Amino acid sequence: MTRADKEAWDRIAYLAEVLEWRIVARSIAGRDVQAILPAEGSAGTEWDVSDWAARWADIAAEAIEEILEHHARMEARELRGRLAMVYSRAAARVAARQPAPAEVRTDTGIDRVEQFKCEIPHAGFFLTRAYELRHPNFDGGMSPRVQREVFVATDAAIVLPYDPVRDRVLLVEQFRMGPYGRGDTRPWMLEPVAGRIDAGEDPAETARRECVEEAGVTLHALEHISSHYCTPGCSTEYFHLYLGLCDLPETTKGQGGLDSENEDIRTHILGFEAAMHLLESGEADNGPLVLSLLWLQRERARLRASA
């Protein structure tokens, strides 16, 4: 076996260990999967490979590419515990293939960027990538080679729960590493409900799920506010921002979050005027909260009239 062959087989073995392919193979022949898969011959329930490929093939390919990047730098068992993040990052990269319009900005594509190097200086729950590249300039030439680092996150769904009948909103409060790392002496923040979009999940599905998990609130309907990058100069993070119509109780404070995700969340229910005061006082000091409150201020009369 040549050295190249051995390296290829090592990578395949690493991928198999991370994904626990042997366990999957045993399960397919056993009862656990039989309880999940449709019964053979059931009308309309046969597993369709083309359906799987349409939904998962691109995400799987992106995930496998990242998994193999960690070969020789991270134990398979350690990476296995982070697969949910790997899959979510893969789904985000697939979603990015459908960009926003280019009616004012340049329509120059990513294929015009010349990439010479891409490394992963840090890989934890999140990861960073360090690039060496050059890109087209507006004068028609190319930039010099530049080194840039980017924080690689997932896409997220963010939703401000609003009760149009009682004219009140729900906010969550929790400790945040961003303010803490900046040195903010009050690193607890008021925010809309938010959460990572899992692979294969629609942003609206995430918004509804997170409202139940973080605040115990079931939404009646969603209003899309915007989809946008939050810090495009240094982060891949992409937000899908919504307002969620719901019934909010009289309770002004409550608890939420999942113990399995180490979430310690306090919920606050505020009347519309009290929520607007957060903008005036500066206590609303993160982009999603400011943007969703301003959007609510503009659309409030319409929402209340149709409630």
Q: Which one of the listed residues 78, 119, 261, 283 is annotated catalytic? A: 261
167: left (phi over 0), alpha (psi -120 to 50) or beta: left
Q: For this structure, is 261 an active site residue? A: yes
Q: What is the pLDDT of residue 262?
A: 53
pLDDT of residue 226: 98
Q: What pLDDT sits at residue 49? A: 57
- Per-residue pLDDT, 237: 97
Question: What is the 8-class DSSP label of residue 208?
Answer: H
Output the six-digit token pair for 103.
């009616």
Listed in sequence order, the residues at least 6 apart from 143 whose beta carbon sits closer than 8 Å to its beta carbon are 134, 135, 136, 137
The pTM for the full model equals 0.86
How far lies 211's CA from each of 246, 248, 265, in Å?
A: 10, 12, 12
Q: What is the pLDDT of residue 233?
A: 96
83 close to 18: Cβ distance less than 8 angstroms: yes
Helix (H) or strand (E) holding 172: strand 168-175
Residues whose CB falls within 8 Å of the CB of residue 234, separated by 6 or more in sequence, listed in order = 149, 150, 151
Give the residue ranges of the chain where pLDDT is below 50: 22-47
Angle at which helix 3-19 crosses helix 58-69, to 10 degrees, equals: 120
Phi-psi region of 140 (alpha: psi -120 to 50; beta: other; left: phi over 0): left
Q: How far apart are CA 248 and CA 194, in angstroms?
A: 17
Q: Which two tokens stand for residue 11?
A: 């990578």
